[in-house]
Amino acid sequence: MSELDLAGRVVELVRRLAGPGTQAEVVVSRADLALTRFANSFIHQNVAESATTVRLRLHVDGRTAAGSGSLVDPDGLTALVERTLAATRLAPPDPAWPGLTPPAPVPAGAPVDEATAAASPDERAARVRAFVDAVEGLEAAGYCRTAHRAGAFANSAGHSAVGRSAEAAMDGIARAAGADGVARHCADRLGDLDGGALGARAAAKARAAADPVELPPGRYEVVLEPAAVADLLQNLAWYGFNGKRYAERQSFAEPGTAQFDPAVTLVDDPLHASGLPYDLEGTPRRALTLVEAGTTGAVAHDRRSGAEAGTGSTGHGMVGASTFGPLPRNLRLLPTGGPAEVAAGRLSAGVTGAVADPDTATLVAGMARGLLVSDFWYTRVLDPKQLVVTGLTRNGVWLVEDGVPTRAVRDFRFTESYPRAMGPGRVLGLGRAPVRQPDRMDGFWWEAPAMRLASWNFTGSASG
């Protein structure tokens, strides 16, 4: 039975067991997920799972409840409908129920790479082997993963949708004398993951990060590599462009206001990569421009928050949206063309390996004095309204003098308002080559080039 046939069968069960007046929506998801992990330069775990999940939401007599299950035989589906109906009788009244998604055309979505969807453990292990070989004796750890998803949506209003997606990702570190270097990449095709190139980059960064010096805290000009920029995008999405937080006045977002530098254009673009072309409520997904040339234009909505705002859903219905809020999951910081390329001879003038690519080198070359930052981690929000975040650097920081990385620097703690750091006049350059970064959350990714900022507030060393 196909996913759409299964969704239709549940809708029919609801009609039969609850009557024609019950509003029902069904999401069927089949996920084939596989992960190959390595540590100490050896594969130590290879796992895979294949599961089908049915999610049902009902609205009966002004009350709403949801349930889910993984038993797709007739008895399992009947039990799902019956317990969800029982839950609606106990649920409080839901006067803000936005109704079901009406019938609407749904885009086909990006093509699925069948080789990725059916990838074998050997194929993932080959990427790991290439990564380990490329670090040339350094200690290596990380993972290579593949995912294939097929799904369908149906509701009692007559709307339906189907889709498939495939994804591959690799995230690895190399360690040299206590210094780590990192390389990450997320792609639609496993064939686009070059384990050797990623390993070589991680190893070069690790060797360049040896013997760091400690610098005093303060405000420094910075070049943030794509892994660090991904943390900015993630927090902007969760706490800024979240329709529920915006309605509750907990977001910095002010649509129609030039809150960012003109170089900043942010687009939530789910169909830029392989992904399901509809959300949890069956709303067709599409590109949503959140910031255009520095001006905030929109926030993400599901049907409930969109009805309250009077704008409608933007296709961001998701599990947990009623509690935390709908949020962008596939955010892109668009490159603007960037400055002219740096002379090739300049790349090796500083600490060898600190600058991993010409795109970043171009931005570094423009700094008189500042810091090159590889990555952020353990970031926590201190002030949601201003999106003030504290966190740590990791996987390499370097002092840049006269456009050249001169010394590795010990990790910093920072406290910074992300929107302010990217505000008007503060973005001094963007790279030309965006890199898609994987996320721990299913179906999330962040894509950005390197970024040069006028100021970043480092408040102390990582040790205290």
Angstrom distance (rounded) from CA 391 to CA 394 = 10
Shared domain check, 218 and 329: no
CB-based contacts of 348, cutoff 8 Å, min separation 6? none
Q: Are residues 377 and 454 in the same domain?
A: yes
Q: Are residues 395 and 457 in the same domain?
A: yes
237 lies in a domain? no
Residue 356 CA to residue 218 CA, distance in Å, equals 26
Confirm whether 454 is domain-assigned: yes
d(CA 249, CA 113): 42
Tokens found for residue 102: 């009406």
- Domain boundary among the residues 279, 313, 333 is at 333
> Is 24 found in the same domain as 153?
yes
Residues 328, 350, single domain; the answer is no
Give which of 413, 309, 391, 319 is closest to 56, Cα–Cα: 319
Which candidate, 34, 383, 364, places its Cα nearest to that of 225?
Answer: 364
Is 199 contained in some domain? Answer: yes
Please tell me whether residues 190 and 84 are part of one structural domain: yes
Give residue 50's Cα distance to chain centre: 22
CB 300 within 8 A of CB 312: no
The pLDDT score that the predictor gives to residue 337 is 59
For residue 339, the model assigns a pLDDT of: 43
Kindly state whether residues 277 and 405 are assigned to the same domain: no
pLDDT for 320 equals 87
List CB contacts of 462: < 8 A, sequence separation 6 or more: 392, 393, 410, 411, 412, 413
pLDDT at 340: 39
369 DSSP β-pair partners:
401
For residues 162 and 263, membership in a common domain is answered with: no
- Non-local (6+) Cβ contacts of 186 within 8 A are 167, 168, 169, 436, 437, 438, 445
- Is 242 inside a domain boundary? no
Do both 196 and 67 map to the same domain?
yes
Successive 10-residue mean pLDDT values, the chain, 464 residues: 96 94 97 97 97 97 97 97 97 96 93 96 98 97 97 98 97 94 97 98 96 96 97 97 95 97 98 95 98 98 95 94 92 75 43 83 96 97 97 96 96 98 98 94 93 97 72
- Classify residue 68: in a domain, yes or no: yes
Instruction: Output the pTM of the full model.
Output: 0.94
d(CA 162, CA 152): 4
Q: Is-contact 243 300, C-beta < 8 A?
A: yes
What is the Cα–Cα distance from 128 to 135, expressed in whole angstroms?
11
User: CA 180, CA 345: separation in Å to the nearest integer?
Assistant: 26
Domain boundary among 333, 352, 384: 333
Using alpha carbons, select from 374, 451, 462 the residue that is nearest to residue 418. Answer: 451
Query: What does the pLDDT read at residue 441?
Result: 85
CA distances from 192 to 5, 74, 92 (A): 34, 41, 50
Identify whether 248 is part of a domain: no
End-to-end CA distance of the chain: 58
Stated as kind and residue range, the H or E segment containing 428 is strand 427-430
**Cβ-contact 342, 355 below 8 angstroms:** no
Measured N-to-C along each axis, helices 74-90 and 3-18 cross at an angle, to the nearest 10 degrees, of 50
Q: What is the CATH number of the domain that holds 123?
A: 3.30.2290.10
**Residue 322 shares a structural domain with residue 362:** no
Residue 324 structural domain: 253-333
Residue type, 134: A
Query: Based on the structure, what is the number of domains in the chain?
Result: 3
Helix, strand and coil content of the chain, in percent to the nearest 5, comes to: 25, 40, 35
Specify whether 341 is located in the same domain as 329. no
Bridge partners of residue 415, in order along the sequence: 390
Residues 306 and 406 in one domain: no
Cα–Cα dist 162/150, whole Å: 8
CA 261 to chain centre: 22
* Distance (Å, whole) CA 219 – CA 235: 21
What is the bridge-based pairing of β-strands 388-401 and 369-383?
Answer: antiparallel
* Distance separating alpha carbons of residues 218 and 456, to the nearest angstrom: 8
| Beta-ladder partners of 161 | 153
What is the structure's pLDDT at 350?
Answer: 59
Give φ, ψ of 447 to 5 degrees: -125, 125
Q: Answer positive or negative: Cα dihedral of 83, 84, 86, 91.
A: positive
Strands (E), 207-351: 218-224, 266-268, 288-292, 295-296, 330-333
**279, 301, 333: which is the final residue of a domain?**
333
Domain assignment of residue 244, yes or no: no
Asked whether residue 342 is domain-assigned, the answer is: yes
- What CA–CA distance (Å, rounded) separates 203 from 181? 6
